[in-house]
Structure 1
Amino acid sequence: MSIDVLDPRFDAEPVYWRRLRAEAGLRGDWAWDVLHRQAWGARTPWYLTVILDGSVPRGLVAGAWVGSRTRRHRFVVSGRGGRFGGLDIRAPGNSAFPGWWFDGAGDDAGCLRLLSEYLPAMRGLLGAGLKAALVRQVPETALGVVRGSLRVVRETEPIARIPTTSFGGRTDWLNSLPSRRKAHMTRVFAGFDDDSRITSEIVSGAEVDAVELAGLLRVNEVKHRDVPIVPLPQFVGYLRALLAQPDVRVLSYRDTTTGRMIGAATLFDHPEWPLARSWSALPVEDGGRKDLYFHFFGELVRWAIAEGRKGVVLGKKMPKLKASLGAELLSQYAVAMPVR
């Protein structure tokens, strides 16, 4: 076994990368051009560590270096960014899936190999300056592996997803909801059906203007300033590269009188579990429409059923609301640990 440690800011796409993405089931945010742009627009340097058996990739871990020079208002620098720090092990484009993959991983989702193979290898590469690691999106089935001396394990927000295989259409889904939510959603859909001012459609990302979409997505980012580290805005260059990926879709809402996009979601299509990556909409006072967010969930369900998917992943945030819409909540954990 050997490892490649790649910095997508500087390194060319490895010859095995597309094969690795296909085997690991990695979505469009793992395309090399997307990773390159994401890495230059990040606050911290990223390391992509690939475990190889000869020329065959057997594992992948993404980790952001958080060092003494990391600041919430500072972009990544050319070097590592401080002699001492830790690795934040997470996916580079979304928070719904782990930032690692191992061939043939069992119930622990590869966490044992993450601790026994990846972290020692990175300590050997980065030296004694690597003091700690934070591992996100750890499943409940891996808790027995990750618990240990001086390790802090905390449950984080669950991942919500709506299974759709038992539904023949959106009406079946509505009938499965609690009575109050069903009545509310029925009114939402009826209101949209009667409103000729608003149209919605799901199109490939390549059909969408990245500048227009970035401006709309920033509306939602400005609203959410209640987190310790405020998310960076959607950069047009990154978004344009992401939209060009064949698995990216956009659910867009437009005002037919002005042609203006008033709401949009980006989606990663997948043969089984598509992911709703981001959502944003204009406020009502700025030309938006009431209940657009709820209609968005109904459109996701309708589309997933029509496309024959197992369901749709809704990500984190507002788990109680999503549960009322029929979502199952998958527990996940974060583990902070020293690296020695």
Structure 2
Amino acid sequence: MSVEVLDPRFDPEPPYWRALRATAGLRADWAWDVLRRQAWCARTPWYLTVLLDGGRPRGMAGAAWIGTSTRRHRFATSRRGGYLGGLDLRAPGNSAFPSWWFADAGADGCEELLSEYFPAMRKLLGVGLKATLIRQLSEDAAAHVRGRRGLVRETEPVARLPTEAFSGRTDWLASLGGKRRSQLRKLLGGVDTDERLAVEWLTGDTVDVVELAGLLRLNEEKHRDVPIVPLPQFVGYLRRLVAQPDFRVLSYRDTHTGELLGAATVFDHPQWPLWRSFAAVPVERGGRSNLYFHVFGELVRWSVAEGRRGVVLGKKMAELKKSCGAELSPQYAAALPLR
């Protein structure tokens, strides 16, 4: 077995990467050009480690290096950070899926992380690698790492909305509880019949990236409930993301003024697309109310039409998503010392 540790800022795309992405089911945020831009726009260095058996990839993991030089208002400037630090295993463009994959892995790949990945990273980074934070652990994976002298805590659940049982939006509405069903029928009908609103699915060069970035930043300004405020949407990163064939934008535009009033971004997938983000102009600034709820109906309609199993709705507002038919899957994070 051999190991390659890649820094997307400097290293070219490996010849096996696209095939590995397809096998592992990695979405648009894992395209190499997107990874490169994301890495240059990050606060910390981000390493992609690939385990190869006879030149054939059999596992991978992505992690940020959090070192003594890491600062909230500083971008990554070196290949390997400071002397002391740890690895933060996190996906590059979403918080719903883990940042690792191993072929034929048990316990969601945790055994491979502990027995193969971390020893390889210790060899690269040296004794200064002291700990790790592993995010997006399932219940089985969390049980596997308990008892290793670390901390395991439940985080926000991930919501999934199955759509295979529906023939369209009407079936989905009929499956909901009475109060939510009645509310959504009214809200969806109000948006559907609003002549000042154009609702459209967009891809690639049909998206105005500068306009979309400005709208997404409106949403990010509201999230001040975390220790480190997320960085804004960078136009260069978003331009490369939008160019991916599996990236979609659901847009809401004022037909009179031409202003983009709302947008949802989606990572497509043969089985489970991911609703990545949503942003809208506030009502007090001329925006349209209830667009967030309308997105649920459009996602169901689109998922059924495309033959998907359902849509991953991500985190946040879990109970609201549950009332809209979503199933909640617990997730955990583990902080472990490395020796």
Q: Deviations over 1:300-327 (max 9, x none)?
A: 1111111111100000001010000000
Q: How is 1:297-312 mapped onto 2 (pairs within 5 angstroms)?
A: 297-312=296-311
| Residue in 2 that maps onto 1:206 | 205
The Cα of 1:206 is off from its aligned counterpart by 3.1
Distance 2:313 2:30 in 1: 19
If the length of structure 2 is used for normalisation, what is the TM-score? 0.98
| Residue in 1 that maps onto 2:194 | 195
Determine if the alignment matches structure 1 residue 219 to structure 2 residue 214. Answer: no
Distance 2:68 2:150 in 1: 21
Distance 2:83 2:307 in 1: 50
Distance 1:155 1:144 in 2: 11
The Cα of 1:193 is off from its aligned counterpart by 2.3
Q: Which amino acid aligns with 1:237?
A: G
Q: Do 2:264 and 2:277's aligned partners in 1 also have CA atoms closer than 8 Å? A: yes
| Residue in 2 that maps onto 1:331 | 330
Determine if the alignment matches structure 1 residue 291 to structure 2 residue 290. Answer: yes
* Identity across matched positions, percent: 68
Q: Deviations over 1:177-213 (max 9, x none)?
A: 1111001101101111221011111121332011110
The Cα of 1:123 is off from its aligned counterpart by 0.9
| Residue in 1 that maps onto 2:26 | 26
Distance 1:97 1:193 in 2: 32
| Residue in 1 that maps onto 2:17 | 17
Distance 1:206 1:227 in 2: 34
Q: Give the gaps of 5 or more residues in structure 2.
A: none
Distance 2:94 2:148 in 1: 30
Q: Give the gaps of 5 or more residues in structure 1.
A: none
SS at match of 2:20: helix
The Cα of 1:243 is off from its aligned counterpart by 0.4
Q: Which amino acid aligns with 1:213?
A: L
Backbone CA RMSD of aligned residues: 0.9
| Residue in 1 that maps onto 2:91 | 91
Q: Deviations over 1:257-306 (max 9, x none)?
A: 01111100111111111111111000011121111110111111111111
Distance 2:142 2:186 in 1: 43
The Cα of 1:226 is off from its aligned counterpart by 1.2
Q: Which amino acid aligns with 1:240?
A: R
The Cα of 1:102 is off from its aligned counterpart by 0.3
| Residue in 2 that maps onto 1:76 | 76
Distance 1:34 1:143 in 2: 30
If the length of structure 1 is used for normalisation, what is the TM-score? 0.98
Distance 1:79 1:271 in 2: 35
The Cα of 1:71 is off from its aligned counterpart by 1.3
SS at match of 1:23: helix
Q: How is 1:175-190 mapped onto 2 (pairs within 5 angstroms)?
A: 175-190=174-189
Aligned residues, how many?
339
Q: Which amino acid aligns with 1:75?
A: F
| Residue in 2 that maps onto 1:148 | 147
Distance 2:310 2:75 in 1: 37
Q: Do 1:205 and 1:250's aligned partners in 2 also have CA atoms closer than 8 Å? A: no
| Residue in 2 that maps onto 1:267 | 266
